[in-house]
Structure 1
Amino acid sequence: MNLRTLAREERTDLAAFLETLSPEDWETPSLCEGWRVRDVIAHAISFDEIGLRGHVERFARGRLNPNRINAIGHAEYAGREPEELIAILRSNLDPSGFPAAFGGMIGFADGLIHHQDIRRPLGRPREIPAERLRPALSVALFAPVLLGVLRVRGLRMEAADLDWSFGRGPVVRGPGEALLLTIAGRSGVVEELEGEGQPILAARVG
């Protein structure tokens, strides 16, 4: 499993999807609380152009706090026009800098989850390729910041549409995409899951 390759494939698909959006679509609220579609993409590409020195400066300004660091990056790109955001993504399909850390883990997880963060509110579902969805489920459990393993502790997660499971305890079962977003902490999606462990997980994600 080459996460850098998977990240490039996902970012390529994301760029192609963004090119189909209307101006109204870009202003639609996403699954990320307080962020529109354009805000999600501004965040997603905010590390691609800054280089090593830019990374060091941003992490220092954010005092190594992920929320502060992301807020700084988002603020720097939130005013860009959609065409410019897409162009930056197209020019940086291979993750670099912080998104390339851990073998591309962060860039891959960030790209795939944020892709769904904007597709769902727009009513534009897709079938995520199994060769990406399966590793994304595992990555979301242990990726820095997400740390979904803490959210699903004491539960057994089972995908209904592909060969993937994790953990022990009361079962939570459902589509792999819904499991992924719930592991990542997206509220509302947990309603699509079932099993005796579902109420426990629902209480954790809100």
Structure 2
Amino acid sequence: MISVRTLARREREDFADLLDGLSPLQWQAPTLCAGWTVRDVVVHTISYLGQTRVGLTAAMLSARGRVDRLNDRALEAGAGSGPDELRALMRAGVDPSGAGALYGCRVALIECLIHQQDIRRPLGLPRIIPPDALRASLTYARVSPVIGGAWRTRGLRLIATDLDWSAGRGPEVHGPGEALLLAMTGRVGAVADELQGPGLAQLGRR
């Protein structure tokens, strides 16, 4: 069985490979993260995963627990970083450490997986996500204290149609694992047409 650390490392390597092929225009393109360009998403990912656990705790306290404020500060700090530097930083940090190693390296895995899709979908650069990585991310997203998946999916049963994964009780939502993952992490508007079931309207309202 492949370890989560290995899955996270592979996901970040895939992310780095993606960045290596982007044009200057694509770096400025919009993403699924409202108001953020590709460059912004990359800065956020690198800055978040690059922090030590103590540094992340201090940053959260300074931001008084407000994730949006924490994100804004990270973007400000990385304002001077260009594509070449960001590509190198993404490639250099493939092995999870610090904040990225939290929850058995699941933080690094899901951050790199979700934010890579935030970039790929608007750019029309789809890929087949490795099933092991997707399954581990789905399971973690439902219980993560930061992602909010537990709140968004409370009282619903999610069923992946392309891999062996399901969770929860209540009205069902069916769809590809990637679409379910993006929906439970707050991107339901981008994948609603890929999902179906009596629980979809409830999921959309959250």
Above 0.5 in TM-score?
yes
> For the Cα contact (< 8 Å) 2:32–2:190, is it kept in 1?
no
> For the Cα contact (< 8 Å) 2:50–2:100, is it kept in 1?
no
Moved over 4 A (4+): 48-54
What one-letter code is carried by the residue in structure 2 that aligns with 1:9? R
Q: CA deviation at 1:64?
A: 3.2
Question: 57-66 vs 11-20, which deviates more?
Answer: 57-66
Aligned residue in 2 for 1:193:
195
Residues 45-84 of structure 1 mapped to structure 2, 5 A cutoff: 45-51=46-52, 54-55=55-56, 57-84=58-85
> For the Cα contact (< 8 Å) 2:159–2:172, is it kept in 1?
yes
> For the Cα contact (< 8 Å) 1:43–1:74, is it kept in 2?
yes
Aligned residue in 2 for 1:128:
129
1:166 and 1:53 map into 2 onto residues whose CA distance is 33
Give CA deviations for 1:3-48 in whole Å, capped at 9, x if unaligned: 2221111000000011011111111110001101100000000045
1:164 and 1:104 map into 2 onto residues whose CA distance is 20
Cα RMSD, aligned residues only: 1.7
1:10 and 1:68 map into 2 onto residues whose CA distance is 27
The alignment status of 1:87 with 2:104, answered yes or no, reads no
TM-score (norm 1): 0.92
Give CA deviations for 1:31-83 in whole Å, capped at 9, x if unaligned: 00110110000000004555466445433432233222222122211331111
Question: 91-100 vs 155-164, which deviates more?
Answer: 91-100
Give CA deviations for 1:129-181 in whole Å, capped at 9, x if unaligned: 10111111111111231120210111110001000001111111011111110
The alignment status of 1:16 with 2:17, answered yes or no, reads yes
Q: CA deviation at 1:190?
A: 2.1
Indicate the SS of the match to 1:21: coil
2:126 and 2:106 map into 1 onto residues whose CA distance is 23
Indicate the SS of the match to 1:111: helix
1:181 and 1:16 map into 2 onto residues whose CA distance is 21
What one-letter code is carried by the residue in structure 2 that aligns with 1:194? Q
Identity %: 48
Q: How many residues align?
A: 204
Uncovered stretches (5+) of structure 2, i.e. residues with no partner: none
